[in-house]
């Protein structure tokens, strides 16, 4: 059995594994796709002390750093269930899709999240070429340019306010006849001179010249007419979904949005089970935050282990 078993191999999981291995304890990582969201990212300019890197490069550095230690890395392994220890200090069990079971004294859940796609022509083709999902990450790349934000909930309106301070113009596109963001955010948005709000609009296509985005078409749902907006970037803000479906029947407490509830030490509702990164309720989903939370959860797991009675 493992002393620490990390589920998920993104920035949070990699940091947790390294911190555990450096304590000289038996550490494993099971990941569906080692590297996580970083593999889908191009330019990264906010990983402090590294002014610029690229996703695949950071992902391979994460893997190399983990492999510098004695960590049992089980890549391409999807967890489908968690059975908590029956007795305090006992072994937790992770069920894998391939039928295998892994046992561990502590778990660190770091299965991350995924951005919901609009699923229109051009979205996949122009991902990282004008189609973006994270204003904190990619906003500055559109300095002085025109962008659209798709989605008028809190995250869409926050993104539009944030981007309006950086880019030349923001068009906010909401499917519904009204925005769903908090009133205070809506008032702030309405006060900005370089923002246009379009409601009852369904995005139907993202256009490009083959190498980058140059426009977007939406259908006005009240008149059924199509309109084109010329722009250089599209931020899709229709939800970040935590990869926690597999925890539904485990007893690990999840928030109404499906995020894993953790306390300030990264411990979940089950003693000995910790969590970190985008899969948790911790706000602001960023690489540097996921890594910090992974390190914290790992140190908390170690703290838990050294307090168990000697067996």
Sequence-separated (6 or more) residues with CB below 8 Å from residue 34: 9, 59, 62, 63, 73, 75
Q: How far is the CB of 128 from ligand FAD (least distance, A)?
A: 6
Sequence-separated (6 or more) residues with CB below 8 Å from residue 105: 1, 2, 3, 4, 89, 91, 92, 272, 305, 308
> CA dihedral in degrees (109, 115, 119, 124; nearest 10)?
-100
Note whether 33 binds ligand FAD by CB under 6 A.
yes
**Binding piece for ligand FAD, criterion CB under 6 A, among 11-19, 155-163, 217-225, 265-273:** 11-19
Q: Which two tokens stand for residue 271?
A: 């003693």
Among 4, 6, 12, 273, binds ligand FAD (CB under 6 A): 12
**Binding piece for ligand FAD, criterion CB under 6 A, among 7-15, 170-178, 179-187, 195-203:** 7-15
Q: How many residues bind ligand FAD (CB under 6 A)?
A: 39
Pairwise CA distance, residues 296 & 287, whole Å = 14
Q: How far is the CB of 263 from ligand FAD (least distance, A)?
A: 17
Q: How far is the CB of 47 from ligand FAD (least distance, A)?
A: 6
Pairwise CA distance, residues 222 & 23, whole Å = 62
**Binding piece for ligand FAD, criterion CB under 6 A, among 140-148, 192-200, 279-287, 303-311:** 279-287
Pairwise CA distance, residues 295 & 300, whole Å = 9
Note whether 215 binds ligand FAD by CB under 6 A.
no
Q: Which is nearer to ligand FAD, 240 or 308 (CB)?
A: 240
Among 197, 275, 287, 297, binds ligand FAD (CB under 6 A): 287
Beta bridge partners of 149: 172, 235
**Binding piece for ligand FAD, criterion CB under 6 A, among 3-11, 62-70, 153-161, 187-195:** 3-11
Q: List, as one string, the DSSP characters of 124-149.
A: TTTBTTTEES-HHHHGGGGTTSEEEE
Q: Which two tokens stand for residue 117?
A: 């796609």
Which ranges of the chain would DSSP assign to H, the alpha helix? 11-21, 55-67, 135-138, 154-164, 183-190, 287-306
Among 4, 6, 8, 92, binds ligand FAD (CB under 6 A): 8
Residues numbered 35 to 54 that lie near ligand FAD (CB under 6 A) are 36-38, 40-41, 44, 46
Among 5, 11, 135, 300, binds ligand FAD (CB under 6 A): 11
Build a one-symbol-per-residue string for 105-144: x at contacts with ligand FAD by CB under 6 A, - elsewhere. -----xxxx-x-----------------xx--x-------
Between 287-306 and 11-21, two packed helices, what is the crossing angle to 10 degrees? 30
**Binding piece for ligand FAD, criterion CB under 6 A, among 169-177, 256-264, 282-290, 300-308:** 282-290
Beta bridge partners of 79: 96
Q: How far is the CB of 33 from ligand FAD (least distance, A)?
A: 4
Note whether 78 binds ligand FAD by CB under 6 A.
yes
Which residues make up the interface to ligand FAD (CB under 6 A)?
Answer: 7-13, 30-34, 36-38, 40-41, 44, 46, 78-79, 110-113, 115, 133-134, 137, 243, 246, 277-279, 285-288, 290
């Amino acid at each position: 059995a493992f002393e620490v078993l990390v589920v998920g191999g993104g920035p949070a999981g990699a940091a947790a594994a390294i911190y555990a291995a450096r304590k000289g304890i038996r550490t494993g990582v099971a990941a569906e796709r080692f590297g996580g969201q970083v593999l889908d990212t191009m330019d990264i300019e906010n990983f402090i002390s590294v002014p610029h890197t690229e996703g695949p490069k950071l992902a391979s550095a994460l893997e190399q750093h983990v492999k510098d230690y004695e960590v049992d890395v089980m890549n391409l392994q999807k967890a489908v269930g968690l059975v908590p220890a029956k007795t305090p200090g006992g072994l937790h069990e992770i069920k894998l899709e391939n039928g295998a079971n892994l046992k561990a004294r502590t778990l660190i859940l770091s299965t991350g999240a995924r951005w919901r796609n609009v699923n229109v022509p051009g979205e996949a083709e122009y991902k990282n070429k004008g189609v973006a999902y994270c204003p904190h990450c990619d906003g500055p790349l559109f300095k002085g340019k025109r962008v659209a934000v798709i989605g008028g909930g809190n995250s869409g309106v926050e993104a539009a306010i944030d981007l309006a301070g950086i880019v030349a113009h923001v068009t906010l596109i909401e499917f519904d006849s009204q925005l769903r963001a908090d009133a205070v955010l809506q008032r702030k948005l309405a006060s900005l001179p370089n923002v246009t709000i379009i409601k009852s609009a369904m995005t139907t296509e993202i256009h490009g010249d083959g190498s980058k985005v140059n426009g977007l078409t939406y259908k006005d749902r009240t008149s059924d007419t199509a309109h084109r907006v010329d722009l250089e970037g599209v931020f899709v803000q229709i939800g970040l979904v935590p990869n926690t479906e597999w925890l539904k029947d485990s007893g690990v407490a999840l928030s109404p949005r499906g995020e894993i509830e953790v306390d300030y030490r990264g411990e979940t509702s089950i003693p000995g089970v910790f969590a970190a990164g985008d899969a948790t309720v911790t706000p602001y989903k960023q690489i540097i935050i996921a890594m910090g939370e992974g390190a914290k959860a790992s140190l908390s797991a170690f703290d838990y282990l050294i307090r168990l009675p000697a067996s």
